[in-house]
Amino acid sequence: MTTLGDAWSWLTDPAHWAGDDGIWHRLTQHLVLTVVCLLLSCLIALPVALVLGHLGKGGALAVNISNVGRAVPTFAVLVLLLLTPLGTWGDGPTVVALVLFAVPPLLTNAYVGMRGVDRGVVQAARGMGMTGRQMLWRVELPLALPLVLSGIRIAAVQLVATATIAALAGGGGLGRIITAGFNLASTPQVVAGAILVAVFALLVEAAFEVAERFAPGWARNRGRAGG
Amino acid sequence: MTAPPDDCLARNEWICGEYLSTRRQILLDAVVQHLQLTSLSVLIALVVAVPLAVLARRWGWAAGPVLALTTVLYTIPSLAMFSLLLPVYGLSASLVVAGLVLYSLTLLVRNILAGLRAVPEDTRQAARGMGYGPVRLLLTVELPLALPAAMAGLRIATVSAVSLVTIGAIVGFGGLGNLIYTGMNTYFKAQVLTASVLCVVIAVAADLLLLGVQRVLTPWERATRAVRP
C-alpha cells in the first residue's frame, strides 16, 4: 500500500497545511460554504414546509416538485450558473446550486413531520380555543421537530459531500485539493485530499449523531421521512 | 477568404439546433456511455444488496453492522469516493462504476431490508404452516412482498446514479458529464445546456420505466410506499 503511505506523507507535510492552497484554508472555505448554504436553504425550505404542513394543502405538490430536483445533477446546475452573468460574482453560482440541492430533504422532512402530527392532538388544541398561529408554534412544530431536525441533518451531510463539486468548477473548499492533485497527476495528493474530505464528512455525521444522543427527549430522532 | 458563419454556434447561444445536428455522434456516444455506466452500477449494486439485506433480515445481529457500513459509504463525498478508489482501479470506467455501486448500496440495502421487515409475521407463519421451507418462503412470499419498498429504493438509487455519473468527468468517464466539463472550460453554452437537459431526461425516463416495471411486477399493490434513508 505505497499509495496510502505516500498519501500519509503528503498529509503530514506541514507545508501542505499552510497558505492559500493549504489544508486549513480549504477546510475553512468548505465549512463556511456548508454553513452558509445550510442556513439559506433552511430559511427557504422550513417556512414553506411549516406553513404548507399547517394548512395541509399543496404540500404533496411541493414535495413532488422538490423531489424531481433529485434528477438534476448539481454539477450541471453549477456549470450552467457559471456560464450566466451570475458566474462573475464569486461564490454565487456555487451557493445557489448547493441551496437548490439542500432544499428537497429539508422540505420533505419538515412537511411530512407536520402532517404526521396526530390529528386528534390538533383537534384537541383547536377545541381548547387555540388560534392557528398558536397551534403551529405550540403544538405542531414541537411535535414535528424530530423529523425537521433529521431533515437538517441529512441536508447538512449531503451539503458537505456536494460542496466538493464546487472545486470542479473552480470554487474553493476541500475538493480543490483533489482536483489540484488530478491536474498535477499526483495520486498521493488525490488520495490525501479524498481522505480529508471523507473524514470531514464523517465527522459532521458523527457530530449530529452525538448531538442527537445528548439532545432532550422531545428533539430526538424518531424516524426519517426522506432524503 | 470566406466570412465566418453567422449561426447560433458562432454566437454561442444556449439553445442551438446547429449544435444538435453537427455534434450528433458526440452526443450519442456520451448518452450511451452515461446509460452504460448507470445501468451497470445499479445492476451490480442490486446483485450485492439483495443477499446483504436477506442476511441482515435472517440474522438480526448482522443488520447493525451492514446498515452502519453502507451509511458510512454513503456519507463519503462522490469526488472523494472516486479519488479513493483511484489507486485500485486507475483512470478507468470501472472506477466510476465501483464508486456508484458503493453509493447505490445504501439506498438499496435500506429499502430491501425495510420491505422484508414489513412482511407481516402472520403471513410468514401461514406460509410455514403450509409447509414452505425457508428458501421457498423467501423467494415466493417475502421477496415479492418486499418488492414495492425495494423498487422505491431502486428508483431513487437509479436517479441519483444518473446525476452522479456526471462527476465521473474528472477521470474522463462521465458520460454527459464529460460534455458539461469541457463545455465549462470552453464556455460552450449550447453543449452544457444540451448535456444537462439530456441528463434530466435520462433520469426521468429511467424513473418512469422503473415505475412501469414495478406496476407490472406488483399487480396487487397500487399505492406505492417509499422508504428513504
Where along chain A do its domains lie? 2-219
> CB neighbours (10 Å) of residue A28?
13
Task: Report the share of chain A in percent with pLDDT over 70.
Answer: 92
Domain ranges of chain B: 12-118+132-227
Whether this model's ipTM surpasses 0.90 comes out as no
Rounded Cα–Cα distance for residues A216 and B225 (Å): 31
A224 touches chain B (CB under 8 A): yes
Q: In whole angstroms, how far apart are CA B193 and each of A75, B169, B184, B188, B199?
A: 12, 16, 10, 9, 10
Domain B12-118+132-227 fold is MetI-like fold (1.10.3720)
SS3 B76: coil
Return d(Cα A105, Cα A74) in angstroms, integer: 14
Regions of chain A short of the pLDDT cut 70 = 1, 87-90, 217-227
The answer, for B35 touching chain A at a CB cutoff of 8 Å, is no
Q: Which DSSP category does B142 fall into?
A: I
Question: How far apart, in whole angstroms, are the C-alpha atoms of residue B208 and residue B204?
Answer: 6
Residue from the list B75, B79, B195 with its beta carbon closest to the beta carbon of A164: B79
In this complex, do B84 and A70 lie within 8 Å of one another by their Cβ atoms?
Answer: no
Take residue B98 and report the three cell numbers written for it: 465501483
User: Model pTM?
Assistant: 0.83
Give B96-147 pLDDT, tens digit per residue.
999 999 989 988 999 999 999 989 999 999 999 999 988 899 999 999 999 9
- A21/A25 Cα distance (integer angstroms): 7
Identity of the residue in B75, B156, B181 whose CB atom sits nearest the CB atom of A161 = B75
DSSP state of A88: G
Contact status, residue A101 vs residue A158, Cβ threshold 8 Å: yes
Name the residue with higher pLDDT: A79 or B45.
B45
From chain A, the residues in CB contact with B184 under 8 A are 79, 82-83, 169
Which three cell numbers mark B201?
431526461
Query: Does A83 sit within 8 Å of B187, measured CB to CB?
Result: yes
Give the sign of the dihedral formed by CA A54, CA A56, CA A62, CA A64.
positive
Residue A18 in grid coordinates: 499552510
Which tens digit of pLDDT belongs to each residue from B142-178?
Answer: 999 999 889 989 998 999 999 999 998 888 888 899 9
A2-219 under CATH 1.10.3720.10, yes or no: yes
Q: Give the number of beta-carbon pairs within 8 Å between A and B.
A: 136
Contact at CB, A169 and B204, closer than 8 angstroms: no
Those of residues 137-166 in B touching chain A at CB distance below 8 A are: 156, 159-160, 162-164, 166
Residue A213 CB neighbours (<10 A)? 9
